Amino acid sequence: MPEASTADLNACADLVRRGDPDRFLAAMAAPVAARRVLFPLYAMNVEVSRAPWVTQEAIIAEMRLQWWRDALEEIAKGGAVRRHEVVSPLAAVLPAAQAQGLDDYVAVRQWDIYRDPFEDEAEFDRYIDQSAGGLMWAGAAALGEAEERVARDLGYAAGIANWLRAVPELETRGRVPLIDGTPKGVQALAEKALDRLSDARARRKDVSPAARPALLAGWEAGTILKQARRDPARVAQATLGQSDARKRLALMARAASGRW
């Protein structure tokens, strides 16, 4: 794989800093070598996440997602890759298997383009697993040895935590983000995600030290999910989460201990 340029890596880091501050903090808490992997991956996530929302024209949004699917296919094939400030450094660090696997991660974002609700719980779970779970697994696998199920379980928990925080904004944009938005439904969803978080943490040994920095991105999941389970009204009130100071302290503690 070719080396990523410093300019491209800096551009990726700045994109993540502006577009995804929490993942930026998680990446900055990782060793320098890991950042060379995480910043391009998280920058891609910013770009892919934005694609369905930057236009009202569904066909243009579809084309933007297809652009990323094509770029990932180029990386997976191992040949020439388009020149782009995110794609180029991503090609330098992303194994072919992970690039191929991320096709589902992009494709599932088609839900964001339209206003149809999820058909059922299975479709909702697939959306979270392929988006948040797929991103977590790609990062861990690109850094070192890791059990896929562990990364995906943590990714699911973090994905649900972030999704619950996004519910008010999604509803403002005309989406129906939850299968059951009642207090009991929110509590059940938070409980399910906490179970998967617990399963992931019970198998920490199945993630090598080299791969652990990718899992730091889920450091807030437990706190947010417990808040939603205890007081589901906080979802609609958009009050889930911690202060910046408490959030940073929690991240520092997890980064120092390696116990994501």
Which pair of structure tokens corresponds to residue 65?
């997602």
CATH 3.30.70.100 fits 115-260, yes or no: no
Is pLDDT above 70 for 240?
A: yes
User: What would the mean pLDDT of 121-142 be, rounded to a whole number?
Assistant: 98
Of the listed ranges 1-5, 10-14, 183-187, 198-202, the one predicted with least confidence: 1-5
List pLDDT tens digits, range 190-236. Answer: 999 999 999 999 999 999 999 999 999 999 999 999 999 999 999 99
Three-state SS sequence of the chain: CCCCCHHHHHHHHHHHHHHCHHHHHHHHCCCHHHHHHHHHHHHHHHHHHHHHHCCCCHHHHHHHHHHHHHHHHHHHHCCCCCCCCCHHHHHCCCCHHHHHHHHHHHHCCHHHHCCCCCCCHHHHHHHHHHHHHHHHHHHHHHHCCECHHHHHHHHHHHHHHHHHHHHHHHHHCCCCCCCCCCHHHHHHHHHHHHHHHHHHHHCHHHECCCCHHHHHHHCCHHHHHHHHHHCCHHHHHCCCCCCHHHHHHHHHHHHHHCCC
Give the confidence band of 1 by pLDDT, cuts at 50, 70, 90: low
Q: 127 to each of 179, 200, 210, 217, 242, how far by Cα in Å?
A: 12, 19, 28, 18, 26
Give the confidence band of 123 by pLDDT, cuts at 50, 70, 90: very high
User: What would the mean pLDDT of 91-109 be, rounded to a whole number?
Assistant: 96
Is pLDDT above 70 for 2?
A: no
User: What would the mean pLDDT of 121-126 be, rounded to a whole number?
Assistant: 98
Percent of the chain with pLDDT over 90: 96
Q: How far apart are CA 217 and CA 139, in angstroms?
A: 10
Query: Over the chain, what is the mean pLDDT?
Result: 96
Neighbours of 115 (CB within 10 A): 10
List pLDDT tens digits, range 37-81. Answer: 999 999 999 999 999 999 999 999 999 999 999 999 999 999 999
Neighbours of 206 (CB within 10 A): 15
* Boundaries of every domain in the chain: 1-114, 115-260
Query: Which of 119, 221, 243 shows the shortest CA–CA distance to 165?
Result: 221
List 146's β-bridge partners, or say none.
207
Q: What is the pLDDT of residue 259?
A: 85
* CB-based contacts of 217, cutoff 8 Å, min separation 6: 22, 23, 26, 27, 42, 136, 139, 158
Predicted TM-score (pTM) of this structure: 0.96
Percent of the chain with pLDDT over 70: 99
